[in-house]
Amino acid sequence: MLVMPLIFNAAFYRALREPFVLWHSVLTFSLLMTIFVTSGLSVMFFDPPAMTLSWMTTLIFGITIGSGSMFTYSFIEPGKMHPLLRRILPYCAAWALFLSVFHATFPFVGRPIQSTAYTAAFAPVLAVFVFSVIDSLCRGSRAARFQAIGYTPLALVGLIRLVTGLAPWLYTADAMLLFYFGCMFEVLFTTLGVAERFMSIKRERDGARNEADLLERLSETDPLTGLLNRRAIERQFERLLEESFTALAIIDLDHFKAINDGYGHGVGDEVLQAVAVALKAGPNVRAYRLGGEEFLLLLRGHDVDVQAEVRRQAIPATVANAVPGLAGLVTASMGITPISGDESFTALYERADKLLYEAKSAGRNTTHSTIPATQSSNSIPMVQAIVASPAAAMAGTG
């Protein structure tokens, strides 16, 4: 039964490398060895001399107390134990190991009083442990609840041994039957506590990871249009190249400053939101807002020039429908270039931006491209026909 928690701890530690899992494994193993040595099982296997058996029992007891102290030190949640008590626990562990090693190495150095002094020396350790658990319980520690229940039989054994060992008029009692029961009881409940703590830490880490992912997404999203921003494309660029995106286009609205100056920034924001709708991202198109009135498209497929041009030419109609009352159509210019080799985002952007500048210089509302025309390019006039209707309507109201 005591072997199973060791297997559980190995599985827990692989998933969540917390020190309390290791200390619980040491504690469980030391209790297993205690039962093995004190129950007579060791005699059945290798029949050690009485002095060797006594020496082993003493050392294992010190390891049990020390690992139990360190388990409590690392197991209780942060902020759920008084800092002074948490700092004392490692000293308690070191003290318990020192006492056991000294007593096992020099068992007769103070023959008349050594056993009594050895027993009494563990009283401060027991007191610190009890105070630590009580303090943690008062602070609402869930981990302490499992420890308080699990350690109760062993604490009772320790109290019986301490009182009967110090009081000369009482018969010294080891309470071994209660001790064996306490070992199994302690391991059972602390293992349940480890499992519960494991799930609690996992929930906390998952929550923190989700929050970090959300913050990262927010930092990479343009709050006005909902499109991804430049930070997002710079971070994702290499992965997007691996996903076979083959063209980059920069789209810039023509005379956008006149809209802000003539209608106010509120209307300008509505125009930008409408442009984001016109650019509509899809499986083969990723849309980004670089800032101001400048947008970027990443495209893949056999007709990337058509996909980009369709979206550029859809801008006037989409804006006219979404923002009525403008005196004229909102048009856009575009530069588009193929992605080749392992070019950096900066190099591609600069080349597309140069093409955009040429389109602006050529009179705006046009596209300059270094992509060879595809057979699908004859579909572009269909888009122009769609755009012509709102243009005529606005011209009629001009």
Nearest C-alpha neighbor of 293 from the set 322, 266, 268, 263 = 268
299 pLDDT more than 70: yes
For residues 133 and 239, state if they share a domain: no
Answer yes or no: is 250 within a domain: yes
Confidence of residue 381 (pLDDT cuts 50, 70, 90): very low
336 pLDDT more than 80: yes
For residues 173 and 35, state if they share a domain: yes
Q: What pTM does this model have? A: 0.52
For residues 307 and 393, state if they share a domain: yes
Answer yes or no: is 386 within a domain: yes
**pLDDT digits over 14-55, tens only?**
666 788 888 888 888 888 888 888 777 666 667 777 778 788
Last residue of a domain, one of 184, 215, 246: 215
Answer yes or no: is 359 within a domain: yes
41-51 residues labelled b (16+ CB within 10 A) or e (exposed) = ebeeeeeeeee
Answer yes or no: is 186 within a domain: yes
380 pLDDT more than 70: no
Answer yes or no: is 224 within a domain: no
57 pLDDT more than 90: no
Number of domains in the chain: 2
Residues 6+ apart with CB under 8 A from 237: 345
For residues 263 and 121, state if they share a domain: no
For residues 150 and 65, state if they share a domain: yes
Judge contact between 34 and 183, C-beta under 8 A.
yes
389 pLDDT more than 60: no
Domain of 183, in residue numbers: 3-215
d(CA 288, CA 277): 12
Q: DSSP label at 77?
A: P
Count, residues in the chain: 398
Higher pLDDT, 195 or 65: 65
Answer yes or no: is 222 within a domain: no
For residues 188 and 255, state if they share a domain: no
Give me the residues paired with residue 285 across strands.
282, 299
223 pLDDT more than 60: yes
Judge contact between 272 and 259, C-beta under 8 A.
no
Judge contact between 297 and 312, C-beta under 8 A.
no
Last residue of a domain, one of 183, 215, 247: 215
Answer yes or no: is 372 within a domain: yes
**pLDDT digits over 256-278, tens only?**
999 999 999 999 999 999 999 99
For residues 147 and 257, state if they share a domain: no
Quote the pLDDT of residue 195: 79
Residues 6+ apart with CB under 8 A from 40: none
User: Token match 């006039």: residue?
Assistant: 381
For residues 18 and 68, state if they share a domain: yes
d(CA 311, CA 344): 25
d(CA 386, CA 389): 6
For residues 62 and 190, state if they share a domain: yes
For residues 277 and 349, state if they share a domain: yes
For residues 175 and 295, state if they share a domain: no
Return the H-helix or E-strand segment holding 250.
Answer: strand 247-253
For residues 104 and 164, state if they share a domain: yes
Answer yes or no: is 384 within a domain: yes
